[in-house]
C-alpha cells in the first residue's frame, strides 16, 4: 500500500498498527473504548482528568486485561491529583505518558522517562513546542483550536506551518478538525507522524456515551461547535469548544459570579479555577452519562459536522486508512500525468 511509507514513523513510535490516536476524553475514554481502539489497530488514551489515583489505577489494570495493544494515559498537569497520577503511572510502568492542560516541568518529563515511559506533550503554540522538546518531550501533538473540549488559541493550519514544517527532531502528531482519511493522507504527506481524533470516535458503537449525546452530534453542523469566551484575565479559563446549549449560558454566568467573588475577596484565583473545572466535569457527565443534552456539556470539535453516522470502531479506522490510500493513489495519478 502507498500509505505504508507514510505510517512508518508513527507506527514505530506508538507500536500500533496505525498511528491513529483516540484523544483522551473525560467520561468517554474509559478502558472499554481505549482497549477497543487498540484492538482495532489504533492507539487509545485513558483520561486521567480529576480521577482519584486509585480509580486511575483500576482503569489501567482493566485496560491491560482487555487488550495486549499499547495505550497511554493523558494527565492534566493542573489537576488536584496530578502528582499522584504521575507517581502512579511511573510505578505501573506505563509505556506512554501524555502531558496536557499546562506546561509540565522538566523534572516531571524526566521522571516519566526515567520510568521507561515515552513522553508526549501538547504544543498549542510554536514557542512552547520548542520549549517542550528542550525539556525532553519524545513527541508532540499539535492540537488546533478546531478541536473539541479544552482548546488552544491557534488553528491547526497555522500550527502545521509553524511547527510541523519546522520540527524534525521528534515525531509530530496532529489533531483538531480531523475526521476523514482523505485529510489524514494530506497531513501524513506534510510530515505528520499520525493523527488524533476525538469527536469522530464519539460516534463509534463501542463508545459508551449516551444515545442522546450521539444523536446531538449526528444532527450538529460544524458551526454549532463554538468556543466559550473568557471575560477577564484574572480568571484565565481555557476556552472549551462544545455544541451551544443552555449549559454554555450557565458557564458564562458562572464566570461572572466567580469574578464578583474575586472582587469581594470571597475566593482566591486557584479555587475559582477549580470551580471552573468542576463545572465542566459535572456538566460533561450530565451529558455523556445521563443524556442531558440541554444543560450538560456537549464538548465537540468542528469535525462534528463530518461525523454523522455511528459505526463500529474497526469500521471507522479501516475507512480512514482505505480513504487515505485512495487519496494517495489519486494524487499519484495526477502527478504522473502532468507534464513538466
**186 and 77 housed in the same domain:** yes
Q: What pLDDT sits at residue 102?
A: 81
**127 and 146 housed in the same domain:** yes
Q: What is the domain-level CATH number for residue 185?
A: 3.20.20.70
**278 and 316 housed in the same domain:** no
Q: 173-193 burial by CB neighbour count: b if 16+ within 10 A, else e?
A: bbbbbbbbbebbbebbeebbb
**pLDDT for residue 268 is more than 90:** no
Q: pLDDT tens across 276-322, in order? A: 888 888 999 999 999 999 999 999 999 999 999 999 999 999 999 99
Q: pLDDT tens across 126-159, in order? A: 899 999 999 999 999 999 999 999 898 999 999 9
Pick the most confident of 90-104, 113-127, 183-197.
183-197
Q: What pLDDT sits at residue 134?
A: 95
**203 and 91 housed in the same domain:** yes
**205 and 272 housed in the same domain:** no
**pLDDT for residue 5 is more than 70:** yes
Is residue 207 within 8 A of residue 309, CB to CB? The reply is no
Angstrom CA distances, 61 to 48, 68, 94, 108, 329, stand at 13, 12, 11, 23, 42
**132 and 13 housed in the same domain:** yes
296 within some domain: no
316 within some domain: yes
> Mean pLDDT across the chain, nearest whole number?
94
Q: What pLDDT sits at residue 272?
A: 87
Which strand (E) or helix (H) includes residue 5?
helix 4-14
Q: What pLDDT sits at residue 340?
A: 62
Whole-number CA gyration radius for the chain: 20
**pLDDT for residue 76 is more than 70:** yes
**47 and 180 housed in the same domain:** yes
Q: What pLDDT sits at residue 184?
A: 98
Q: Concatenate the DSSP letters of all residues of 301-318 into one string.
A: -GGGGG--S-B-HHHHHH
**pLDDT for residue 24 is more than 90:** yes
Residue of 150 and 178 predicted with greater confidence: 178
**218 and 90 housed in the same domain:** no
293 within some domain: no
Give the range of the structural domain holding residue 277, as residue numbers without chain letter: 211-288
**63 and 101 housed in the same domain:** yes
**145 and 259 housed in the same domain:** no
Q: What pLDDT sits at residue 88?
A: 96
Give the whole-angstrom CA distance, residue 244 versus residue 52: 30
Binned at pLDDT 50, 70 and 90, residue 335 comes out as: confident
278 within some domain: yes
**pLDDT for residue 26 is more than 70:** yes
301 within some domain: no
Question: For residue 101, is it left (φ>0), alpha (ψ between -120 and 50) or beta?
Answer: left
**pLDDT for residue 338 is more than 80:** no
Q: What pLDDT sits at residue 89?
A: 95
Give the whole-angstrom CA distance, residue 178 versus residue 187: 10
Is residue 74 within 8 A of residue 22, CB to CB? The reply is no
**Percentage of the chain exceeding pLDDT 90:** 79
Cell numbers linked to 265: 475577596
Is the pTM higher than 0.85? yes
84 within some domain: yes
**316 and 262 housed in the same domain:** no
Residue of 270 and 35 predicted with greater confidence: 35
**pLDDT for residue 237 is more than 90:** no
**pLDDT for residue 7 is more than 70:** yes
Give the whole-angstrom CA distance, residue 1 versus residue 23: 26
294 within some domain: no
Cell numbers linked to 274: 477549580
**164 and 21 housed in the same domain:** yes
Q: What pLDDT sits at residue 49?
A: 84
297 within some domain: no
Residue 49 CB neighbours (<10 A): 24
**Percentage of the chain exceeding pLDDT 70:** 99
Q: How many domains, in total, are found in the chain? A: 2
Section 255-284 average pLDDT: 88
Amino acid at each position: 500500500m502507498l500509505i505504508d511509507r507514510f505510517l512508518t514513523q508513527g507506527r514505530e513510535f506508538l507500536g500500533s498498527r496505525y498511528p491513529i490516536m483516540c484523544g483522551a476524553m473525560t467520561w468517554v475514554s474509559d478502558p472499554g473504548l481505549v482497549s477497543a481502539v487498540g484492538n482495532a489497530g489504533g492507539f487509545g488514551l485513558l483520561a486521567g482528568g480529576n480521577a482519584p489515583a486509585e480509580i486511575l489505577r483500576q482503569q489501567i489494570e482493566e485496560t491491560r486485561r482487555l487488550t495486549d495493544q499499547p495505550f497511554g494515559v493523558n494527565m492534566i498537569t493542573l489537576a488536584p491529583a496530578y502528582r499522584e497520577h504521575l507517581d502512579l503511572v511511573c510505578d505501573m510502568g506505563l509505556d506512554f505518558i501524555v502531558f496536557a492542560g499546562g506546561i509540565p516541568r522538566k523534572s516531571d518529563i524526566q521522571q516519566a522517562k526515567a520510568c521507561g515511559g515515552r513522553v508526549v506533550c501538547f504544543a498549542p503554540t510554536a514557542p512552547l513546542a520548542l520549549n517542550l522538546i528542550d525539556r525532553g518531550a519524545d513527541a508532540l501533538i499539535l492540537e488546533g483550536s478546531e478541536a473539541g473540549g479544552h482548546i488552544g488559541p491557534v488553528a491547526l493550519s497555522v500550527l502545521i506551518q509553524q511547527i510541523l514544517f519546522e520540527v524534525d527532531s521528534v515525531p509530530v502528531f496532529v489533531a483538531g478538525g480531523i475526521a476523514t482519511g482523505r485529510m489524514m493522507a494530506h497531513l501524513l504527506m506534510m510530515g505528520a507522524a499520525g493523527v488524533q481524533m476525538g469527536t469522530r470516535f464519539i460516534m463509534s458503537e463501542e463508545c459508551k456515551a449516551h444515545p442522546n449525546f450521539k444523536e446531538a452530534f449526528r444532527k450538529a453542523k460544524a458551526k454549532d461547535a463554538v468556543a466559550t469566551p473568557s471575560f477577564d484575565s484574572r480568571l484565565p479559563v481555557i476556552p472549551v469548544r462544545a455544541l451551544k446549549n443552555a449549559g454554555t449560558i450557565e458557564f458564562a454566568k458562572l464566570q461572572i459570579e466567580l469574578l464578583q467573588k474575586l472582587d469581594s475577596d470571597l475566593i482566591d484565583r486557584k479555587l475559582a479555577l477549580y470551580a471552573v473545572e468542576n463545572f465542566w466535569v459535572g456538566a460533561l457527565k450530565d451529558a455523556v452519562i445521563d443524556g442531558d443534552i440541554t444543560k450538560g456539556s456537549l464538548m465537540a470539535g468542528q469535525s462534528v459536522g463530518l461525523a454523522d453516522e455511528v459505526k463500529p470502531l474497526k469500521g471507522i479506522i479501516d475507512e480512514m486508512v482505505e480513504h487515505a490510500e485512495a487519496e494517495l493513489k489519486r494524487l499519484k495519478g495526477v502527478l504522473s500525468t502532468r507534464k513538466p
